[in-house]
Amino acid sequence: MSAAARSAMTIARVALPVAVYTLFDYWVPAGLEVSRGQMVRVHLGRRALVGVVVGIGASTDVAGNKLQPVGEVVVGMPPLPPDVLAMADFVSRYYQEPLGLVLAQMLPPLAGNVARAPMAVAAVALSADGRELLPPRVVRAPKARALFEWLNAADDATLGAEAIAALAPRERALLRAWLGHGWVVPAPAPAAPALPLPALNADQQAAADAIVAALATFAPFLLQGVTGSGKTEVYLAAAAAAIAAGGQALLLVPEINLTPQLAQRIAAALPGRRTVMLHSRLAGGERARAWVAAAAGDADLVLGTRLAVFTPLPRLALIVVDEEQDSSFKQQDGVRYHGRDVAIWRAQQCGVPIVLGSATPSLETLAQAQRGRYGWRKLPHRAIEPARLPALRFEPNRDAGAVEGLGLPLLAAIEARLARGEQSLIFINRRGFSPSLLCAACGWQAGCPRCSARLVVHRNDRELRCHHCGHAERLPRACPECGNVDLMPLGHGTQRLEGALAARFPDARIVRIDRDSTQRKGAFTAMRDSVHAGEVDILVGTQMLAKGHDFPRLTLVGVLGADNALYSADFRATERLAALLFQVAGRAGRALLPGEVIVQTDFPAHPLYRALAGHDYESFAATLLAERRLTGLPPFGHLALLAAEARDRRDVDAFLTAARDAADVVVRAANLTVDIYPPVPAGLARRAGMERGQVLAQSAERGPLQRFLPAWREALLRLPGRRVRWVLDVDPAGFA
């Protein structure tokens, strides 16, 4: 290539989804329009990748003969706007992850043809031309004819988003072609059946007014409302105002809360507005379409899980994070960002209000509210009168008459509900409370061969399974150590409880809701619907049952195994248990029937249980905050965790020791107030055959830690240790 040709060349700097901290230069062929933020297809070596252009220049350090061209611009995807690129840059720097990986997280999957030409319409209808011209043309093509007839038969000749999503690829291609011809046209989404909207009560109105008054400025709010207090109506009232003023609203919810119920309430509260959903379980094409609709400003409200925080929203006016304390907002692999924290950053950058809603706010959020940095609005009463908070009782775990851990008081309470035709929920705190297999003769316990964990008995499948690595083996008939055939399962799993309840209450209709019973797609929804329809008397379940569901005939909640989390090594375990128990307790007596909660515990005087009995989350949070202040843990300190694993324990130890030394060097050189702790084995010291360990960095202020991390990361990349895999987790959710 001649010098003249090179000097006239346009260079695109591209962030690629690879685990290196550099950008890649490509030359832009003549005639290709490439701008910042655009998604482009390029080759890295022989690999074909989609990257994002983060800069345009006229020169490069890459040798001319090595320089490759940009392949093409991804069709149908608008370039990422500057504010989203800035968010990517922030996430990359804050969480110490390569920009290309961060950007890859933000984009919907771009594989295949669907994403190449996303259909950015919620609904389509036959146009007048279509009605006239299509019938003669489709006579010979059966596919086309079927599609036409479908459109023609549909109400108002309109196909909704769900119907479009359900089309076969061939039909969708046809539809796209017809859109091109103008035979079908984008249609307004069909109006939702009007649900009666409750008038806001005084507390709700005051909260909504405060948020609306803050529109167009950065204003964080903590909306602390007891379960059933009607937080959702406040979100929706604020969103309606934001949208009426020409804005878009972003509503982030935990994985588990993406319910059709919520979608219905949104549709009722925002008639004529367009809502799109964004979460990881959507098919790629669907997600791409929703994303494009949001980015183009066609969607008024985006409802999604943590990944939706990255959606381009040209008219963003309000962000809401529901159940802001939920741990699913923190991604646990790949780019370990916290959706809530990124949302706060984004609200600040865009100058819009953000509402963090919870019955049991995270200690981080609570502390900010107490310091006066967040507007603090409370909804202390349930929305539906005369619903009252449930009464709490504590009963001992050890009970001579207990059946599979269900004590006599709990059994009697269930029986009373059955007699009255009301529903009961038995909640098992699964963390550290799964049935394992023990030999009473020699003390042998069924352990995972690849992890430092016990195997869990899955009686229905006659298997032992590891919940950490997925290892499974047949339930042994006899002890492998001593041959004893009388092996006893220890602890109470959901399956055993279900069995025991069925034996005790043979006429009761019992449903188990846990990870196993809800693996099939739609299974969870089907179960929830049958609970609603009153086809279930007793629900047995785990964490999945705790939140976001409103069962009017549910009047009893029994809690088993909560004690296990009280004395955990993980500093967040008690906080999580507290949130969970307040949520579970909130399930009882939501509507007109009074509720009761029975907690089986050996420590009824524990501050958590006392707070629970008084329905006083804040007093318990105050206890926890005092502890955290003493130990310098969040929110009174900031953490980063280096987690490493290798086949051989010696490799892990050597790497972590070197990592710690490297950290000390960085801290001393820059004179930073960051404490580095000695290497320790992880809580689960071995997983899937890998030995695991960690080093903790802690600082009272965020600034020094953020200055420390890039330098430490650089040093870590230079350490020998090819047999070691490691990650840096900034603001870890807990100690693994």
Q: What residues make contact with ligand ADP under the rule CB under 6 A?
A: 198-201, 204, 225, 227-233, 383-384, 550
Please say which residue, 201 or 397, places its beta carbon nearer to ligand ADP. 201
446 contributes a contact to Zn ion by CB under 5 A: no
How many residues touch Zn ion under the rule CB under 5 A: the total is: 15
- Minimum separation from the CB atom of position 652 to Zn ion (A): 17
Residues 108-147: x where in contact with Zn ion by CB under 5 A, - otherwise, as a string: ----------------------------------------
Query: From the list ligand ADP, Zn ion, none, which binds 451 (C-beta under 5 to 8 Å, kind-based)?
Result: Zn ion
DSSP conformational letter for 338? B
Q: Which stretch binds Zn ion (CB under 5 A): 298-306, 321-329, 465-473, 498-506?
A: 465-473
Q: Report in angstroms how near the CB of residue 290 gets to ligand ADP at its nearest.
A: 24
Question: How many CB atoms within 10 Å of residue 146?
Answer: 13
The dihedral through the CA atoms of 691, 326, 639, 572 has a sign that is negative
Stretch that binds Zn ion, among 263-271, 343-351, 443-451, 536-544 (CB under 5 A): 443-451
Pair 416, 609: CB distance under 8 Å = no
Minimum Å gap between C-beta 723 and Zn ion is 20
Question: In the bound complex, which residue of the shown chain has the CB atom lying closest to ligand ADP?
Answer: 230
Beta carbons within 8 Å of 511's beta carbon, 6+ residues apart: 527, 530, 531, 536, 538, 539, 540
Query: Cα angle vertex 149, ends 147, 155, to 5°?
Result: 105
729 bridge partner residues: 641
Task: Look up residue 210 and give its two tokens.
Answer: 């405060």
Q: How far is the CB of 518 from Zn ion (least distance, A)?
A: 22
Least separation in angstroms between CB 529 and ligand ADP: 16
Q: Residue 484: which of ligand ADP, Zn ion, none does it interact with, CB under 5 to 8 A by kind? A: Zn ion
Question: Measured between alpha carbons, how far is 305 from 339 in angstroms, rounded to an integer?
Answer: 8
φ, ψ at 373 (rounded to 5°): -85, -20
194 or 419: whose CB is closer to ligand ADP? 194
Cβ(422)–Cβ(593) under 8 Å?
Answer: yes
**Quick check: helix, strand or coil at residue 366?**
helix
CB of 168 to ligand ADP, least distance (A): 37
Nearer to ligand ADP, 265 or 346 (CB): 265
In whole angstroms, give the CA distance from residue 209 to residue 18. Answer: 46
- Cβ burial, residue 14 (10 Å; 0-12/13-18/19+): buried
Which residues lie below 8 Å from residue 406, measured CB to CB, with a gap of 6+? 414, 426, 497, 500, 501, 558, 560
161 sits near Zn ion (criterion: CB under 5 A): no
Binding residue (CB under 5 A) for Zn ion from 290, 292, 479, 728: 479
The residue within the footprint of Zn ion, chosen from 240, 439, 500, 556 (CB under 5 A), is 439
Q: Which does 295 bind (CB under 5 to 8 A by kind): ligand ADP, Zn ion, none?
A: none
Find, among 591, 501, 494, 495, the residue nearest to 543 by Cα: 494
Q: Is 451 in the site for Zn ion (CB under 5 A)?
A: yes
The smaller minimum CB distance to ligand ADP, of residues 232 and 555, is found at 232
Give me Rg for the CA atoms of the chain. 28
Q: Which stretch binds Zn ion (CB under 5 A): 477-485, 568-576, 619-627, 694-702?
A: 477-485
Q: What is the DSSP string of 136-192?
A: HHHSS-HHHHHHHHHHHHSGGGEE-HHHHHHS-HHHHHHHHHHHHHTSEEE-PPPPP
* Cα distance between residue 318 and residue 311, in whole Å: 13
Based on the shown chain and the rule CB under 5 A, indicate whether residue 482 belongs to the binding site for Zn ion.
yes
Residue 461 binds: one of Zn ion, ligand ADP, none (C-beta under 5 to 8 A by kind): none
Q: Which residue from 36, 93, 116, 468 is in contact with Zn ion, where contact means CB under 5 A? A: 468
Smallest gap from residue 231 Cβ to ligand ADP (A): 4
Q: Which of 393, 471, 649, 723 binds Zn ion (CB under 5 A)?
A: 471
- Asked if 172 and 166 count as a contact pair (C-beta separation under 8 A), the reply is no
79 binds, among Zn ion, ligand ADP, none (CB under 5 to 8 A by kind): none
* Cβ distance to Zn ion smaller for residue 439 or 682: 439
Q: By the 8 A CB rule, do 524 and 543 touch?
A: no
| Structure-token pair, residue 171 | 């039909």
We find the least distance from the C-beta atom of residue 264 to ligand ADP, in angstroms, to be: 11
CA distance 289 to 294: 9
CB of 198 to ligand ADP, least distance (A): 3
Give the residue with the Cβ less far from Zn ion, 442 or 665: 442
Residues that bind Zn ion (CB under 5 A): 439, 441-442, 444, 448, 450-451, 466, 468-469, 471, 479, 481-482, 484
